[in-house]
């Protein structure tokens, strides 16, 4: 039987990821944060597929890099590095990103359809204080860089619109 690790298991997307395939009775483990590498390492048992969600709520004009952005990046880095160390049992990493990682840029109306080469412009995000998009872009780029470097099987899901309630199991 497959096992899955869902980080950020209290988020909207994670609640649906956890509840959707319950008919097959997989084993789920949920973690709140993976900012410390030791936490991540013990959470990766044998035969584990990994779902990762990293995020925070949109803030106002103030962006504390060390409190919002850095933990997201280090959490992603720690998870990817732990997956690399468990590569004999981790088959795929599924990262839930956001459409904000691809559509915020000065030429947004000129590019369609979007594909894997499209990214939000970090300077655009800074200028208009789109901190969530800024963070999601950095996190996803970091995940892709590590996946390429360590030859990990990474899939990124980019929901463009979500609506509904968080499911409670």
Looking at the predicted structure, is the pLDDT value of residue 30 above 70?
A: no
Query: Among 97, 92, 93, which residue's Cα sits nearest to residue 116?
Result: 97
* Residue 93: inside a domain: yes
- Kindly state the average pLDDT of the residues 98-108: 89
The model carries a pTM of: 0.74
SS (H, E, C) 53-75: ECCCCCCCCCCCCCCCHHHHHHH
Tell me how far apart the alpha carbons of residues 30 and 169 are, in angstroms, rounded to a whole number. 12
Name the residue with higher pLDDT: 15 or 76: 76
Convert the pLDDT of each residue in 126-159 to its tens digit: 999 888 899 899 999 999 999 999 999 999 988 8
In a domain, 166, yes or no: no
pLDDT in tens, 45-97: 444 444 444 444 444 555 567 677 888 888 889 889 988 988 888 888 888 88
pLDDT confidence of residue 127: 92
Question: Does any domain span residue 111?
Answer: yes
- Looking up residue 82, the CATH number of its domain turns out to be 3.40.50.720
Q: Give the pLDDT of residue 24.
A: 63
Residues ≥6 apart with Cβ < 8 Å to 27: 1, 2, 3, 4
Does some domain include residue 164?
no
How many distinct structural domains can be found in the chain?
1
Q: Taking residues 161-165, what's their average pLDDT?
A: 79
Structure tokens at 31: 């973690």
For residue 40, give the H/E element and its range: helix 37-42
Q: Evaluate whether residue 163 is within a structural domain.
A: no
Its sign, for the CA torsion 153, 4, 18, 15, is negative
Task: Specify whether 91 is catalytic.
Answer: no
Catalytic residue among 136, 141, 150, 151: 136
In a domain? residue 167? no
What local confidence, expressed as pLDDT, does residue 157 receive? 85
**pLDDT classification of 163: cutoffs 50, 70, 90:** confident
Q: Are 93 and 50 in contact (CB under 8 A)?
A: yes
Q: Residue 33 burial by CB count (10 A; 0-12/13-18/19+): exposed, middle or buried?
A: middle
Domain limits at 95? 3-157
pLDDT of residue 42: 40
25 in the Ramachandran plot: left (φ > 0), alpha (ψ -120 to 50) or beta? left
């Amino acid at each position: 039987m497959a096992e899955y690790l869902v980080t950020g298991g209290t988020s909207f997307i994670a609640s649906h990821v956890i509840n959707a395939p319950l008919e097959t009775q997989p084993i789920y483990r949920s973690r709140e944060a993976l900012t410390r590498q030791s936490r991540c390492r013990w959470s990766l048992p044998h035969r584990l597929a990994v779902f990762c969600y990293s995020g925070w709520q949109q803030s106002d004009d103030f962006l504390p890099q060390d409190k919002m952005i850095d933990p997201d990046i280090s959490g992603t880095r720690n998870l990817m590095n732990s997956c690399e160390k468990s590569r004999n049992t981790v088959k795929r990493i599924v990262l839930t990103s956001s459409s904000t990682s691809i559509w915020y840029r000065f030429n947004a109306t000129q590019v369609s359809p979007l594909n894997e080469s499209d990214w939000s412009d970090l300077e655009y995000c800074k200028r208009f204080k789109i901190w969530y998009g800024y963070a999601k872009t950095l996190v996803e780029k970091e995940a892709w860089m590590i996946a390429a470097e360590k030859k990990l099987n990474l899939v990124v899901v980019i929901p463009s619109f979500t609506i509904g309630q968080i499911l409670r199991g």
